[in-house]
Amino acid sequence: MEGQEVTIAIVLIVLVVGALLAWLFIQRNRTKELRDRYGEEYDRTLEAKGGRRDAETDLIEREERVKKLEIRPLTSEERDRYAGEWRDTKALFVDSPMEAVSRADRLLTDIMNLRGYPMADFEKRHADLTVDHGDVAKHYLAGHEIADRSSDATTEELRRAINHYEALYGEMTNEVADRDGDGVDDRLESGTGAPTRPGTDPSLTERDRV
């Protein structure tokens, strides 16, 4: 009887150790996947949340939230309208850098809202953006941080804010709905829909940039 009890105890210990190792393996893989996917944003969230578990829970909640959003590309008409507004915003920088940065911030908020991102506070908009647009989300964050202190920022800092915003503008407008209006994401031809370098707008020439 004692031998049977010992065998059962050993089996239970093996099962518990096996389950623990499997849990650790899953946790390690999840951490690696999230770190690989979010990069700098993973580290930023880790610092903000103060712990790995809370940070990873936050990142996973973002993904679940964004899955439920109905994000759509701009129509051709909307893209053309915003292209004009963006050129006007950049032109405004010459005479009023602070006003241009503020206007760029509002313009991007409008574009994101029109595409289907919720009208929440900046932190929530930025968090949602990191899920599918991580490369430019950091530019949005950097530009907004300068915009928040625009009254004390130098002209060069405000110029950097515009260039940060331009990276996000290019990402948000480089897709348009197809001509039938069914919401399919079609890349624009003639280079205007190609992925942009940070700080560039594919619809503008180098001479047009700030």
Per-residue pLDDT of the chain (210 residues; tens, 9 = 90+): 566 777 777 777 877 777 777 767 676 777 888 888 888 898 999 888 888 889 999 999 999 999 999 999 999 999 999 999 999 999 999 999 999 999 999 999 999 999 999 887 899 999 999 999 988 999 999 999 999 998 899 999 999 999 999 999 999 998 766 544 444 344 333 333 333 333 444 334 343 445
pLDDT in tens, 24-70: 767 677 788 888 888 889 899 988 888 888 999 999 999 999 999 99
Cα gap 67→180, rounded to integer Å: 24
Cα gap 62→60, rounded to integer Å: 5
In whole angstroms, how far apart are CA 11 and each of 6, 16, 50?
Answer: 9, 9, 38
Cα gap 144→130, rounded to integer Å: 15
Task: Determine how many CB atoms are found less than 10 A away from the CB of residue 10.
Answer: 10
Instruction: Classify residue 207 by burial, with Cβ atoms within 10 Å: 0-12, 13-18, 19+.
Output: exposed
In this prediction, what percent of the chain has a pLDDT beyond 70?
80
Cα gap 189→142, rounded to integer Å: 30
pLDDT of residue 205: 38
The ranges assigned to domains in the chain are 2-67, 76-208
Strands 175-176 and 186-187 turn out to be antiparallel
Cα gap 194→190, rounded to integer Å: 9
Cα gap 210→18, rounded to integer Å: 59
pLDDT of residue 121: 85
Which amino acid makes up residue 114?
A: L
pLDDT of residue 173: 94
Where are the extended beta strands (E) located within the chain? 175-176, 186-187
Residue 74: helix, strand or coil by DSSP? strand
Phi, psi (rounded to 5 degrees) for 198: -55, 130
Task: Determine how many CB atoms are found less than 10 A away from the CB of residue 130.
Answer: 26
pLDDT of residue 29: 73
